[in-house]
Structure 1
């Protein structure tokens, strides 16, 4: 027999629930107030200290790091990290993302978390091999019956709105390398993706966040996100639920362009925000910056001292903090090998504070100009469409000539923002939560 939650009527789908949240929890530092400016769910990186930093600089809606549904149920220390720790009133509105595919496990996990957040999100975006092995993330999109069963089960029982973060469906065979098959056997990525999104809307989801890439488009094959398909989704389903766009957002100019092209209710950023949180700030930071990377690193460290990521901050501790330092100071790390070695090996917040001071002193000696700072870490896999097209063509030729096999998705540090290989071991030096 179901528990008492089974008799609770599903929450009605309110087309304006996101707009109402933004009015209930306004952020005066946001560049605009009628659209959601969203911090993406990022494993070990959208931790509480980072969310507070992003809100300081204009984000008006945040997602938690991805929460593993099985772990939050069976591991008490992991559960404490994600339940009862949302103590800062400034950290609203907030949506918690869960990963998993078993309906009962996902529901139990969601019910543990929902008292502390404004919505629950299902991760259907992670492209890594760990998600394939764990049966979650982007691989759920290719199991339509299982995904719809999960959505309907959660919608029936949850007391907060349910959202799903999706990608475009990949060609079932070899699409990312553009290998042509017979014309009558072509796979229409936009049409297949839009059809699935419609079924999710019909199943009762309250929000869709669409990452305009397939799970194969990552690292050197990232390419530009497909905003046109997102725009089509808005035309088809935007009158029923709010829709967010994700992908190819590294400045407010791109936010503005994306809003004009897609007419979405909000724009989500991940990697660009990791390197430069003020993308959404009320004071424009392009073409010239007024807030430098050293300042951001310092301010994040102050939040991390207040909310240690391994305690109430929802990260893995010093590893989480080091990762943020790496993102903020990426350009300096490329220029100074010894400085890079120090950040990699530092074990305490005071050590990392010393790193930031070293960087600050270096900038003073070199007459560093904040206004001339540019994104560095974000652009490591984004050399433009021409470069991506060449890589795709090379890969296509290799496959056609039998020179190599299509690779499995690897679990790499550069993809942690959507998934992360961090679910084994309790010792931080052996991996811990990262």
Structure 2
């Protein structure tokens, strides 16, 4: 192992408190009530959900929600995504007084990250990453950390981590999967890559991947020699994971709902947490009604009533008053937890998923299906669907215009009665866009919005100039 960087390790020890068990940044999931619940049951460090840096800078409401915290919610690391060093620095400066460190997300593998060119899709642009990390580390009062994914090659992964360390990162969280390992192709994380990074850098390292219970966390620390272990999916299905226990799912659910009463969260977040906590028993046919209630209602009363009904139904089994019959009773002696206990979600392997898809295709007789147009030429599936849609409705739909209605000046659509330009909605929108106009009747405020955007850009440029003038020698 390389000689450690004392300054960076002092940050891990003195500021963060030498955390071993960490809750990952999770979009729409690691909000304040969930972080507080996790801290009460073994988590020693938490991250905020990933925040989009440009939205964070321009939207006060988004910023307030993202920074929601309490004294109990420390130490805390705020995570940002983005690809513009200037905007990321502005976001970090706005957040640094509310946290103990700023994390740069360079590990998100989702399609939205690819479209926005951030997350794991920055790992192909090392020069830009150097600029981002160095800009933030040189101009922020709090340390800068990075959460990253690995490359298939251990050597390249190590060089990648060393580059981030040299750029100024104070801590690295290494997710032991490539950016292609996601969804049904997730598979196992490589602890070998994580161990290689830990041995090659002088700063603290957290490991992420394959953590489904407390024993996994301790074994990962022992095998990889990392300073801490981060859990994401495992924490969502069992927030008591770091305590090393599997409670009945209604216990964390009720405690979480109590925290939500004190620190409100969007109903979509609450619903998502409850679905994961009860994922085993909600799949049982006897709980179909509760599953529907949880899916279609958004009130706290409904959430609480679903939890109470499930508790009443399974508490007698948990207390031993009733006997739960399992597959083990039919001769299967593998140890399995009863469905009312919190337990990690076990994915099938990528190989099993691929074999399942292939078997389904073979059964349907369309292993590889060619799509042909009327002339016999091969076309894409998307094009074929469009051709079929046109075939079903060969004639364009003529708008249903009542007799005596006034028509638009440029098309046969009905006229908007309040339109400033005596046009239909679509033609009015196009005219406002092309000629930079406003139409109060159709609420097409193109001119106004463009003016506001220009004023905002001008103001931000002035603030940047003032900042550079004040802070640069």
For normalisation by structure 2, the TM-score amounts to: 0.68
Structure number with higher relative contact order (C-alpha < 8 Å, ≥ 6 residues apart): 1
Residue 204 of structure 1: which of 161, 165, 168 is its match?
Answer: 168
Residue by residue, what CA displacement relative to the aligned partner does 1:337-369 show, whole Å, maximum 9, x if unpaired? 221111011211111001101111111355576
User: How do residues 83-98 of structure 1 correspond to structure 2 at under 5 angstroms?
Assistant: 83=67, 85-86=68-69, 88-98=70-80
Distance 1:137 1:14 in 2: 24
How many aligned positions are there? 344
**Structure 1 gaps, min length 5:** 1-11, 24-33, 170-187, 310-316, 395-400, 405-434
Distance 1:261 1:196 in 2: 21
What is the aligned partner in structure 1 of residue 14 from structure 2?
Answer: 20
Matched residue SS, 2:123 = helix
Q: What is the deviation of 1:21?
A: 2.8
Distance 2:354 2:200 in 1: 30
Q: What is the deviation of 1:222?
A: 1.1
| 1:379 correspondence with 2:373 | no
| 1:361 correspondence with 2:315 | no
Distance 1:166 1:368 in 2: 44
Residue by residue, what CA displacement relative to the aligned partner does 1:5-29 show, whole Å, maximum 9, x if unpaired? xxxxxxx952231122344xxxxxx
Name which of structure 1's ranges 159-168 and 356-365 shifts more when overlaid on structure 2: 356-365
**Structure 2 gaps, min length 5:** 1-5, 325-335, 360-366, 371-473
Distance 1:20 1:55 in 2: 18
What is the aligned partner in structure 2 of residue 139 from structure 1?
Answer: 121
Distance 2:10 2:305 in 1: 47
Q: Is the 8 A contact 2:173 2:205 kept in 1?
A: yes
Distance 2:338 2:12 in 1: 34
Distance 2:357 2:290 in 1: 35
What is the aligned partner in structure 2 of residue 265 from structure 1?
Answer: 227
Q: What is the deviation of 1:393?
A: 10
- Compared CA separation, residues 269 and 367, structure 1 to 2 (3 A): closer
Q: What is the deviation of 1:392?
A: 11
Q: What is the deviation of 1:147?
A: 1.1
What is the aligned partner in structure 2 of residue 41 from structure 1?
Answer: 25
Q: Is the 8 A contact 1:224 1:385 kept in 2?
A: no
User: How do residues 302-381 of structure 1 correspond to structure 2 at under 5 angstroms?
Assistant: 302-309=258-265, 317-335=266-284, 336-364=287-315, 366=317, 372-373=337-338, 378-380=344-346
Distance 2:241 2:315 in 1: 25
* Structure number with larger C-alpha Rg: 2
Distance 1:167 1:266 in 2: 16
What is the aligned partner in structure 2 of residue 70 from structure 1?
Answer: 54
Distance 2:48 2:7 in 1: 22
Matched residue SS, 1:277 = coil
RMSD after superposition: 2.7
- Compared CA separation, residues 96 and 393, structure 1 to 2 (3 A): farther
What is the aligned partner in structure 1 of residue 145 from structure 2?
Answer: 163
Q: Is the 8 A contact 1:211 1:225 kept in 2?
A: yes
| 1:50 correspondence with 2:34 | yes
Distance 1:210 1:51 in 2: 21
Distance 2:101 2:357 in 1: 38
